[in-house]
Amino acid sequence: MGHACPKQPCHPAHGREHGAALLLLMLLAFLAASSWVIQQRGGESATSARGAVDRTTRTALAQAKEALLGRAASDDNRPGSLPCPDTDNDGDSEMFAGVQCRAYVGRLPWKTLDIPEALDGNGERLWYALSANLRDHPSAQPINAQQTAQLSLDGRPNIAAIIFAAGGSLAGQNGRPSNALADYLDGTNADGDTAYASARASPTFNDAALAITQEDLFRPVKRRVLAEVRGSPTTAGLRRYRAEQGAFPWADSGGDGFADNGEANGSLPYRELNMMPAQAWLSDNAWLPLIAYQRVNADLVRIAIGNATLDVVP
């Protein structure tokens, strides 16, 4: 006698359908989970790629800034001056047109700065804007720490230069490769005036910018000036005066460059000093009258330009 199913009819096919449905649900859940993992990994990969581009760009901008500051501080004739931009993308600063740069915004002159080719994270060469009154030309003199720079960035004034990474091309920038400013820089950065901007990347703006302020520019130059004035016992400056006279000079209290006997505080008595060979650029750019001077005693003086100070001993 056959076995009877209790309470309800036996339906073996129903059990099989239930199992198949369960397997299908499990498969769909697995596919959904796999898709989520792939999307997450894709997003992480895209974020990682963007991060690498941004890091390369930041490094390139920082290295360019360092090169420009080094160039300015070490200039033979006008420390604090900067080269004209490169307008034809050959890496060299352009020659002057009369007494002016041919343009005050162009590509960074990386060959002139003697650095490797400067590329942002998208493989584009860096761009560069210069305050016209800091060009490396005799007509711009005096170039010193009293010079107010003429550029602004995001409304911040007294900017000496700005380095740009143009990023990828946006809508309307279809002329690349070219030397046209508007094919690379965006919005107000491409209009040819002295006001520039930086902002979070968007579909209409992706310029990255790094400013060189007037203070950035002249901080190392002031240190160089003070070191030149300190000099050495055998060549020039205060140390030579001390070696020859047996004491440092008194201060200049009248602003004429000559020491006034008994005056401990005032200006540098620069007319008492032999400042060769630096005398020419120090005088041409009116640095010496800017130096404050304190005679602490016969064997110690303190010289300063603004917040840059230097103690001088024999």
pLDDT digits (tens, 9 = 90+) for 141-178: 999 999 999 999 999 999 999 999 999 999 989 999 99
Task: Say whether both 111 and 259 belong to one domain.
Answer: no
**Residue 176 domain-assigned (yes or no):** yes
Task: Say whether both 155 and 235 belong to one domain.
Answer: no
Do the beta carbons of residue 242 and residue 314 sit within 8 Å?
yes
Distances (CA, A) of 27 to 13, 17, 20, 40, 288: 21, 15, 10, 20, 83
Residue indicated by tokens 């107000």:
188
Do the beta carbons of residue 213 and residue 131 sit within 8 Å?
no
Phi/psi at 267 (5° precision): -105, 165
Task: Say whether both 71 and 117 belong to one domain.
Answer: yes
**Residue 200 domain-assigned (yes or no):** yes
pLDDT at 5 over 50: no
Distances (CA, A) of 226 to 229, 238, 298: 5, 10, 19
Task: Say whether both 161 and 293 belong to one domain.
Answer: no
pLDDT at 134 over 90: yes
Decide which of 217, 250, 277 is a domain's last residue.
217
**Residue 31 domain-assigned (yes or no):** no
Decide which of 184, 217, 250 is a domain's last residue.
217
pLDDT at 70 over 70: yes
**Residue 19 domain-assigned (yes or no):** no
**Residue 173 domain-assigned (yes or no):** yes
Number of domains the chain contains: 2
Decide which of 183, 217, 251 is a domain's last residue.
217
Q: Look up the domain containing 259 and give its range.
A: 231-312
Task: Say whether both 185 and 140 belong to one domain.
Answer: yes
3 band by pLDDT with thresholds 50, 70 and 90: very low
278 band by pLDDT with thresholds 50, 70 and 90: confident
pLDDT, residue 41, reads: 53
Do the beta carbons of residue 209 and residue 166 sit within 8 Å?
no
Residue indicated by tokens 């073996």:
12
Those residues whose C-beta lies under 8 Å from the C-beta of residue 262, and which sit 6 or more positions away, are: 250
Task: Say whether both 62 and 147 belong to one domain.
Answer: yes
CA–CA gap between residue 63 and residue 120 (Å, rounded): 11
pLDDT, residue 37, reads: 45
Tokens coding 205: 């703006």
Residue indicated by tokens 């508007």:
182
For residue 136, give the 3-state DSSP assignment. coil
Task: Say whether both 242 and 198 belong to one domain.
Answer: no
**Residue 90 domain-assigned (yes or no):** yes
pLDDT, residue 38, reads: 46
Do the beta carbons of residue 227 and residue 234 sit within 8 Å?
no
pLDDT, residue 7, reads: 47
**Residue 263 domain-assigned (yes or no):** yes
Reference 253, options 271, 267, 233; nearest CA is 267
Task: Say whether both 204 and 262 belong to one domain.
Answer: no
Task: Say whether both 93 and 171 belong to one domain.
Answer: yes
**Residue 2 domain-assigned (yes or no):** no
Reference 227, options 127, 135, 311; nearest CA is 311
Task: Say whether both 87 and 185 belong to one domain.
Answer: yes
pLDDT at 45 over 70: no
Task: Say whether both 125 and 74 belong to one domain.
Answer: yes
pLDDT at 6 over 50: no
Task: Give me the residues paired with residue 167 across strands.
Answer: none
pLDDT, residue 18, reads: 60
Within 13 A of 34's CA, how many CA atoms are on the CB side?
Answer: 6
1 band by pLDDT with thresholds 50, 70 and 90: very low
Query: Amino acid letter at 171?
Result: A
DSSP H/E element including 28:
helix 12-74
Task: Say whether both 138 and 260 belong to one domain.
Answer: no
pLDDT at 39 over 60: no
